[in-house]
């Protein structure tokens, strides 16, 4: 494990290889699972604010469910998530040919909004668990990401390098540089 400030980073994040392969998984992380994407309270507010700008990028089914459920919801555990269509597909997911992608991110790429997408989606397969004194960053292994693991290994892309943009977005450039230093120092020692 690596500690940076109040973050504890699992050694798997340093040691495992990972690089999404959308041609193989088809964006399964946007449809699989038992709930929508985890959101912070701040992100829930942002989604409500940007919905009119993101709406043109969403599917008819997604729009219909947002209009019924809202732009975010609280699940039975009290966690805030994105709503889903029939308990599966994220309401913000859109099909690009046969691949699920994020309508929020498409709106961001086209300059319609300044919010890229929920950080839990951007960081996936890293999941963050918040504790009183620190937060733990762990690699969530899931069979739907087997193609990403094979692709990362084939191209020798460590998980922490694949998620450089997301980790920097969440924690800042100095934090990420410290992570790289700690990982690479460990390989030399």
Q: What is the pLDDT of residues 135-159, one digit of tens each?
A: 999 998 888 888 888 989 999 999 9
Average confidence score pLDDT of the chain: 90
Residue 174 lies in a domain: yes
Q: Are residues 30 and 57 in the same domain?
A: yes
Q: What is the pLDDT of residues 7-25, one digit of tens each?
A: 999 999 999 999 988 888 7
Q: How far is Cα 188 from Cα 103, in angstroms, rounded to an integer? A: 42
65 and 74 in contact (C-beta within 8 Å)? no
Query: What range does the domain containing 186 cover?
Result: 1-18+139-189
Q: Any bridge partners for residue 99, and if so which?
A: 96
How many domains are contained in the chain? 2
pLDDT the model gives residue 164:
96
The answer to whether the CB of 145 falls within 8 A of the CB of 16 is no
State how far the Cα of 125 lies from the Cα of 111, in Å rounded to an integer: 26
Q: Give the pLDDT score at 145.
A: 85
The residues, any chain, with a CB within 8 Å of residue 144's CB and separated by 6 or more, are: 25, 28, 29, 32
* pLDDT for 184: 87
Q: How confident is the model at residue 188 (pLDDT cuts 50, 70, 90)?
A: very low
Residue 133 lies in a domain: no
Q: 59 with 102, same domain?
A: yes
Query: Are β-strands 7-9 and 135-139 bridged in parallel, bridged antiparallel, or unpaired?
Result: parallel
pLDDT of residue 186 exceeding 50 = yes
Same domain for 56 and 39 = yes
pLDDT of residue 88: 85
Distance CA 159, CA 153 (A): 10
Could you report the per-residue pLDDT of 58-110, keeping only the tens digit for each?
Answer: 999 999 999 999 999 998 788 899 999 988 889 999 998 888 899 999 999 99
pLDDT of residue 187: 55
Residues 6+ apart with CB under 8 A from 25: 144, 145, 147, 148
Q: What local confidence, expressed as pLDDT, does residue 189 receive?
A: 43
pTM of the shown model? 0.87
Q: In terms of domains, do 31 and 115 share one?
A: yes
Q: Are the beta carbons of 119 and 79 closer than 8 angstroms?
A: no
């Amino acid at each position: 494990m690596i500690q940076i400030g109040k973050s504890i980073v699992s050694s798997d994040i340093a040691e495992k290889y990972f690089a999404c392969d959308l041609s193989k998984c088809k964006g399964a992380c946007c449809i699989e699972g038992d709930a929508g994407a985890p959101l912070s309270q701040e992100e829930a507010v942002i989604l409500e604010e940007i919905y009119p700008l993101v709406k043109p990028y969403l599917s008819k089914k997604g729009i219909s469910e947002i209009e019924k459920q809202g732009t975010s919801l609280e699940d039975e555990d009290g966690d805030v998530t994105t709503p889903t269509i029939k308990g599966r597909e994220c309401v913000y997911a859109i099909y690009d040919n046969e691949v699920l992608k994020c309508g929020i991110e498409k709106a961001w790429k086209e300059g319609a909004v300044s919010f890229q997408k929920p950080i839990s989606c951007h960081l996936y397969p890293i999941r963050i668990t918040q504790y009183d004194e620190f937060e733990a960053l762990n690699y969530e292994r899931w069979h739907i990401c087997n193609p990403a693991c094979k692709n990362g290994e084939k191209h020798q892309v460590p998980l922490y390098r694949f998620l450089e943009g997301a980790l920097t977005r969440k924690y800042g450039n100095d934090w990420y540089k410290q992570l790289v230093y700690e990982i690479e120092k460990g390989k030399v020692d």
